[in-house]
Amino acid sequence: MARSREFRHFTPIAPPFVPRSCVPAELSLRLFSDFPDKCIAPFTFQRPRQKVGGDAGALEYRNSNLLHQAAKTIRDKKDADVSSFFHNGWIAAVTNRLIDRLLGAGFNLLLTRPLYMYPEKFLPYVFLLFLVASACGQDDGEMLTSPPAPVGRFTNPDPDQPFFVSVDDTTPEGMKWVAVDSLTDAFDRWDTGKWFKSLWNYGVPVQMRAENSGVADGNLWIRATLDDGAERWFETSRIQSRARISYPMYTESRIKTAHLSAYNTFWLNNGNISNRNEIDVIENNSKPSCGCQPDFPWQMNAQYFHVIDDDTRRAKGNFDNRNLSDDNPLKGIPWNEEYHVVGVWWKDARHIQFYLDGEPAGSVVSERDFTRDLNLIWDLWTVDEPWLGGLPDRNDLLDDSVNTMYIDWVRTWKLEKE
């Protein structure tokens, strides 16, 4: 019969007879064990924030500060940030007993007596602390200094390769992906050498404004705001790359959409409406207002346009993220609730493959050859049309919790011979 979960929580770290002025601000420790073959025992030491009053207070401060230094040495030795993890059941069990003894006897001594008076009693407990640290994370001889990575095809993809390479690598034999720095950005800052704000307008009610986009907190953002009373009351913005690119290439961007009735877009275009090649990776609307687009919260709306002298050819893909693999953690998650990675592999003059969260998400074949180099573009816009989902509630434009599109990063590669 499986053993039920056993949970032991020590707060404060020391037994009741230890002065409470030392805890919980100075030290805290939590131990818990799960099943026999998997035990975890994280522990944390924190430096006292300030010295408490009196001789006893000074003593407590000195001793707990020494323990902080010992713990810091352990962390440095282990190259661990805060916690150490056990994955071997017997090591965890033995260590728990050692720590119980340490708690029951050692801390009363350590926190209530000058340490130099009892070196023969103090040193064994320091030895136990280092023994605990050296045992942490050892499993069949392998040292672990952080929790193991979750197991799954869609976790921890290689950031130096397109997401799909970590899931199902279909890169042609003899070819390799080479990063394109001018079209790659983690958005830790606004890089004027890579991006600019292209502010031409769509139709009413859109008004493009430079101040409605920027970079903050590791994200490129585009915000829709209200100019109440104006004909163009939907204030928004657009970001465009300075560099252009052509096939064979792949680009992907990690995006969380605004939650209002508008298109949140990531697309490629050469900028001439009458003579253009265009690839729309997404035109996502998580909150259609028209009552006519029930699938929009999960639908990509990926497509291409090929226009010569206003003669337009196009094909559209409507991949639904509820059709992702069952083991994909983003399956069925609306665009506004989590960041999704959307991408396109522009393979050749006619073949375009879209991707979502590491998986193929529909493809299109152009009726005519793509011949132009294209820019990367993000924008947020709306129009009073059912194919877009209708106009947003104006109150949504006043709510910063729903009116902003966030782009965590963009990564772009060219496909070249090895």
pLDDT at 264: 98
Confidence (pTM): 0.67
Q: Which helix (H) or strand (E) holds 51?
A: none
pLDDT at 228: 96
pLDDT at 61 over 50: no
**Which residue carries 């720095």 as its tokens?**
181
State phi, psi for 185 to the nearest 5 degrees.
Answer: -160, 135
pLDDT in tens, 162-220: 999 999 999 999 999 999 999 999 999 999 999 999 999 999 999 999 999 999 999 99
Orientation angle between helical segments 54-78 and 119-135, nearest 10 degrees: 30
Alpha helix (H) ranges present in 113-267?
A: 119-135, 163-167
Residues 6+ apart with CB under 8 A from 303: 279, 280, 283, 314, 315, 316, 317, 364
Q: Is there a contact between 216 and 193 (Cβ–Cβ < 8 Å)?
A: no
Q: Domain limits of the chain?
A: 6-135, 163-417
Structure confidence at residue 22 as a pLDDT band (50, 70, 90)? very low
Structure confidence at residue 368 as a pLDDT band (50, 70, 90)? very high
- Average confidence (pLDDT) over 274-294: 97
> What's the per-residue H, E or C state across 237-285?
CEEEECCCECCCEEEEEEEECCCCCCEEEEEEECCCCCCEEEEEEEEEC
Structure confidence at residue 123 as a pLDDT band (50, 70, 90)? low
Weakest mean pLDDT among 25-34, 106-115, 135-144, 283-292? 25-34
How many residues in total does the chain contain? 418
Q: Is there a contact between 377 and 202 (Cβ–Cβ < 8 Å)?
A: no
Question: 276: which 2 tokens?
Answer: 């253009």
pLDDT at 397 over 50: yes
Q: Give the range with max mean pLDDT: 71-75, 99-103, 112-116, 254-258.
A: 254-258
* 283 is annotated as an active-site residue: yes
Q: Does domain 163-417 have CATH number 2.60.120.200?
A: yes
Catalytic residue (choose from 231, 278, 337, 418): 278
Q: Closest by alpha carbon to 271, among 377, 177, 172, 351?
A: 377
Q: Is there a contact between 381 and 263 (Cβ–Cβ < 8 Å)?
A: yes
- Average confidence (pLDDT) over 251-278: 97
Q: Is there a contact between 46 and 28 (Cβ–Cβ < 8 Å)?
A: yes
From CA 249, how far away is CA 245, in angstroms rounded? Answer: 8
User: Which residue spans within 347-403 are E strands per DSSP?
Assistant: 351-356, 359-365, 375-381
From CA 69, how far away is CA 131, in angstroms rounded? Answer: 16
Handedness of CA 232, 236, 242, 243 (dihedral sign): negative
| Mean of the per-residue pLDDT values of the chain | 78
Question: 53: which 2 tokens?
Answer: 């009053």
Q: Closest by alpha carbon to 222, among 187, 248, 194?
A: 187
Looking at the DSSP assignment, which residues form a beta bridge with residue 216? 219
Chain-centre distance of CA 78, in angstroms? Answer: 26
Q: Give the range with max mean pLDDT: 13-27, 43-57, 377-391.
A: 377-391
135 vs 334, higher pLDDT: 334
pLDDT at 231 over 70: yes
pLDDT at 219: 98
Catalytic residue (choose from 173, 283, 337, 385): 283
